[in-house]
Structure 1
C-alpha cells in the first residue's frame, strides 16, 4: 500500500518538474505539504485496518451463519467498524449498561499501521530537510537548545498532521457503525483516536529523522532521567505481573480447559476464542501488576483478588478466567510479591542518578520521589485502560481500581526510588571527592619529588666529604631529615647548618670519580659566601632567619 502511495507521490512531481515554476530551485520546492501527507496517511491506515478486521469478521460470520453477526454483509461491515473503534479503546453503550472492558492486544493493529503511516508521511513531506542543520561538536549551549526546540516543534506538527484527520475520519466511522444495540461513545472515539495517532505519528517522525539512540537527547537531561527511571520501574513491574499471570494459567490449566470444553466452540470458533483470549492477555498482565502492587482487582461487583485474600462470586464464562485462585485467604508466601514495587523503585532511583546526578545531597531523593509519582501515574493509566464495565448489574466493575493502583505504586516506588537515588548520588559525590583529593596529592607529590632528590644528593655529598674517605655507607645514603625548600616538612625539621669545613657538591662529585679519570684542578680560595649563623660575635651581629615564620 505504501508503494502504491509512493507511485502517486512520484507522478505529480514528474509532471510538475516539467513546468517552470517561479522561484523553483529543485524537487524540494514541489514537495507535498505536511497536512496533505498526514491526511493521506490517515486514510491509508483506516482503509487497511478496516479491511483486515472485515476479513476476520467475515470468517466468523461464515462459521456462525445463524445471525449472530447480523443478517447480511452490511451488518458484517458495521461489526468490523465497531471492532476497529474498540481497538482504540472506545467504549459502547448497550441496553442496560455499557462495554468498556476492551482487549489491549487489539490496539497493536492500529498502532502498527499508524507507525508505518507516520514514517511514510515523514518521508513524503521531506521532514529531514526541514530540520536545522547539524551543529559542530563544540557549539554553544544556546544553539543546541534552539535546535532541540525546533526538532520538538517539527515532531509535534507531524503528530498533529496525522492525528487530526485520523480522529475526524474515526468520528465518521462511529456515526456509520451505530445500530439499535451498540452505540459508540463519540467523545471517547475522538479522544482515543487522536491520542493514539499523535503518539504513533510523533514516534514515527522521530525514527524517520534520526536513530533511536540519539532521540532521547531531545529531552532535557533532568526530564530524560525521570523518564528513564519510570520506564525501568514500570517495565520491572509489568514483567513481574506477566510472570505471575502465566504461572497462574499453568497452575489452573485444567480449569481453563474445562471451561473451553463447556463452551464447545468448534474448530473455527475455537480459533477465534483463542485469538480473543490472546488479545486479552495484556489486560491480564496489568491485572497481575495491580495484584503485586497490593490493591488487586475485581471480576464483578463485590469481588476482590488481592494478596491479602480472594473473594469471588459468579464470573463470566471466559476460559482465561479459569486461572483465578480459589476463594479464601491467600498463602502467606504470596505476600512476598509486594516487595517487587520496592525493588523496582530502588533500581529506578539508581538509573535516575546514573543518567543525571544531582550536585546536592538533598536533590536526588526529591527527584527519586518524582520518578515514583510518574510511575504511579503510568500504572494508574494502564489500570484504567485494562478494566471497565462488561454490561450492567454485577459486571459493571471489572479490573483494578485506577486511583488505588496509582496511589499504591506512587508510595511504594517513590519511597524506594528516593532512598536509592539519595544513596547512589551520595556515593557518586563521595567517590568524586576522593578522586579529586587523590589527584591533588599526586600533583603535590610530583612537584616535591625534585626537591627530595636534591636533598638526597646533598646528603650523599656531605657524607662523602665528612665520612670515611667518601665510602658509600648507610650513613652517607641516608637522606637529610628535611630541606629548607621542602614546604611539606620544613615546619617540623630544623634547617641544616653549613659549616666552614664543608665542600660543595662539585668537589664531592669529583672525589667520587675514579683516580684515572680525575683531572688535576687548581686550588680554590676559601669560600666567603658561607655564613656561620652560630657566631654572633658577642651580640654585635643579629642574623634574621627568613624561614622562622614557617616553624612557629
Structure 2
C-alpha cells in the first residue's frame, strides 16, 4: 500500500517538473485535505481487497449459499466484515448484532496508521511543524509551540477521518441485503473515530520518538495518560493470563466442542481465525471477572467470582473454558486483589513522572488515575459485548457501568496510596541529597575539560612549583593571587634566611636562643592559652625534607 501511495505522490510531481517555470517545491505539494483523501481511499481499497480474498476462500469451502449467492454476495459479505472491523452493528429480523470481534480492528488500524504516515510525508507536515526551541526558552514560547503542534495534529486527523467516514457510508449502503442491514450512523461514527486516532498518532509520530509525542501534553496530563495506560495494560495482561489458565484447565471441553462441529481442514482454519479474533473480547470479559462484576452469556446468566450461573452457551470452542454453573471455590475471590496491584503500579508511575510539591495532591492524582482507568475499562466492556439477535442472547458481555465503578474504586484507592507514598519518598530523597553529590557532575565536567585542554596543549601537564609559600583558604578569598616569575626574588625565603642567621650563632654556643622574630602571637583563645603561628614552617619543613 505504501508503494502505491508513493507512486501517487511522485507521478504528478514528475509531470509538474517537466513544465517550464514550475519547480518541485513547497508550492507544488498537495494540500493536507487532498493527501488525506488519497490515503483514505487507498486504505479502503487495500482493506476490502484483502477481506474479499479471504471471504472468497471461505465461500469456496463453505456450503452453497452460506456467504451469499455468487460473487456479488461475496463482495457484500466482505463489505459487512469490513464494517464489523470498525465495530459497526447490523440490524436483522428479530434483533440486532452487536457482538463483533475486536481483533478484527487490528487490520484497519494498521492500514490507517501507514496511510497517515504517508499523508504526513506527502503534505510535508514535518516542515510545517514549528521548529524545536532551544533550551531555557521562555515558557510562553514553549506553550505556543506545543499548542501549534497539537492543532496541526488535529487537522491531520480530521483530514484523514472525514473522507474515510464518507466512503464508509457508501460501503454501508452497498453492503445492505435482505437479512442484514448495517447501521449507517454507527458506521460513520466508528470509521471517523478510528481514522482520527490513527491519523493523529501517526502525525504526532513525525515530530519525533514516542517520548516526544508525550511531551506535547502538559506534565500532569502526561502523567495521567501514562498512568491510565499502565493500569489498563496490567489489567489486560491479568485477564489474558486468566484466560490461558481457564483454557488449560478445561481443555477437554474445548476439544469436545471442536469435534462436535467437525469443520474440516479449511473450516478448521477459519474457525481458529474467528476464535483468535474474538480473543480480545474474551480477555476483556476476564478483566471484568477480575474486577468483580463478571459478565453474562445471555439474559439471566452471570460468570463472576461470587458464583456462576449459565444456560445454553453458543457453540464456540473457546467458550468451553467457562466454569461450570454453581458456587466457586473461596480462594477464587483472591483474584479481586489483582486490580489493586495494577493501581499500585500506576500510582508509582504517576508520582515518578510528575511529583507534587505538596503531600496532599499526589494521592488525589493517583485516585484520578483510577477514575480514568475505570472509564477506559467501561469503554472496553461496551465494545467487547453486545447482542446476538434477539431473545436470550440479547445481553452478552459485561455491564459497562458496573465495570467502571469497580475498576475506578479498586485501582483508584491503590493508586492514591502508592502515589502518595512514592511522592513522599521522592521529596525526602531530594531533600537529603548532599552538596558534594550534587556538585559531582560539575567536578566531572571540569576534569574532562582539563584533560581535553592538556591534550591539545592549552594547559601544562606538569607545571613547575611556584617559589614562596602557599596562601591558605582565608587569604585566597580576600587577597589577589600574586604573579611570580622565576627571576624574581622570593621575599619570604630571604626573610627566613635572615631569621635563621640571627638565631643559629647563639644556638651553636650552647646559649639560649634570642627571641624569634618570625613567631607571631595571633590571639588568645580566652582559656589562658596563647596561639602562635609560624608563617614559614611549611617552607622550612620542605627544605629539611630536601
TM interval, short-chain normalised: 0.7 to 0.9
Relative distance call for 1:60 and 1:439 in structure 2 (3 A) is: closer
**1:301 is paired with a residue of what secondary structure?**
coil
Aligned residue in 2 for 1:495:
526
Relative distance call for 1:342 and 1:508 in structure 2 (3 A) is: same
State how far apart, in whole Å, the 2-side matches of 1:289 and 1:51 are.
35
TM superposition shift of 1:285: 0.5
Aligned residue in 2 for 1:29:
27
> Per-residue CA shift, 1:171-227, capped at 9, x if unaligned?
011011111110111111111000000011111112233222322111111111111
Residue of 204, 216, 219 corresponding to 2:217: 219
> Per-residue CA shift, 1:235-282, capped at 9, x if unaligned?
111000000001101111111111111112222111111110110000
TM superposition shift of 1:77: 0.6
Which aligned pairs between 1:107-506 and structure 2 lie closer than 5 A? 107-435=105-433, 495-497=526-528, 504-506=532-534
State how far apart, in whole Å, the 1-side matches of 2:157 and 2:197 are.
7
**1:305 is paired with a residue of what secondary structure?**
strand
State how far apart, in whole Å, the 1-side matches of 2:35 and 2:226 are.
32
State how far apart, in whole Å, the 1-side matches of 2:68 and 2:531 are.
120
Given that residues 16 and 23 in structure 2 are in contact (C-alpha distance below 8 angstroms), is that contact kept between their aligned partners in structure 1? no
TM superposition shift of 1:11: 2.1
> Per-residue CA shift, 1:468-512, capped at 9, x if unaligned?
xxxxxxxxxxxxxxx99xxxxxxxxx83346xxx684349969x9
TM superposition shift of 1:65: 4.1
Aligned residue in 2 for 1:546:
none
Given that residues 86 and 191 in structure 2 are in contact (C-alpha distance below 8 angstroms), is that contact kept between their aligned partners in structure 1? yes
TM superposition shift of 1:78: 0.6
TM superposition shift of 1:4: 2.5
Aligned residue in 1 for 2:64:
66
**2:59 is paired with a residue of what secondary structure?**
helix
**2:157 is paired with a residue of what secondary structure?**
helix
Aligned residue in 2 for 1:529:
none
State how far apart, in whole Å, the 2-side matches of 1:508 and 1:142 are.
61
> Per-residue CA shift, 1:302-344, capped at 9, x if unaligned?
1100011111111111111100001111111111111111011
Superposed CA RMSD in Å reads 2.5
TM superposition shift of 1:141: 1.8
Given that residues 16 and 24 in structure 2 are in contact (C-alpha distance below 8 angstroms), is that contact kept between their aligned partners in structure 1? no
State how far apart, in whole Å, the 2-side matches of 1:436 and 1:415 are.
35
**1:358 is paired with a residue of what secondary structure?**
coil
**1:209 is paired with a residue of what secondary structure?**
coil
State how far apart, in whole Å, the 2-side matches of 1:135 and 1:508 are.
58
State how far apart, in whole Å, the 2-side matches of 1:371 and 1:154 are.
28
> Per-residue CA shift, 1:374-406, capped at 9, x if unaligned?
110111110110000011111011010011000
Aligned residue in 2 for 1:19:
19
> Per-residue CA shift, 1:501-543, capped at 9, x if unaligned?
x684349969x979x99xxxxxxxxxxxxxxxxxxxxxxxxxx
Aligned length: 464
TM superposition shift of 1:2: 2.5
Aligned residue in 1 for 2:8:
8
Which of the pair has more CA radius of gyration? Answer: 1
Relative distance call for 1:98 and 1:497 in structure 2 (3 A) is: same
> Per-residue CA shift, 1:287-314, capped at 9, x if unaligned?
1110000000000111100011111111
* Residue ranges of structure 1 left out of the alignment (5+ in a row): 441-448, 452-482, 485-493, 518-552
Deviates most, 209-218 or 225-234? 209-218
State how far apart, in whole Å, the 1-side matches of 2:357 and 2:267 are.
62
Q: Calculate the TM-score normalised by the size of structure 1.
A: 0.80
Relative distance call for 1:506 and 1:71 in structure 2 (3 A) is: closer
* Residue ranges of structure 2 left out of the alignment (5+ in a row): 439-471, 475-522
Q: Calculate the TM-score normalised by the size of structure 2.
A: 0.81
State how far apart, in whole Å, the 1-side matches of 2:295 and 2:535 are.
96
Aligned residue in 1 for 2:454:
none
State how far apart, in whole Å, the 2-side matches of 1:366 and 1:435 are.
27
State how far apart, in whole Å, the 1-side matches of 2:265 and 2:231 are.
41
**1:328 is paired with a residue of what secondary structure?**
coil
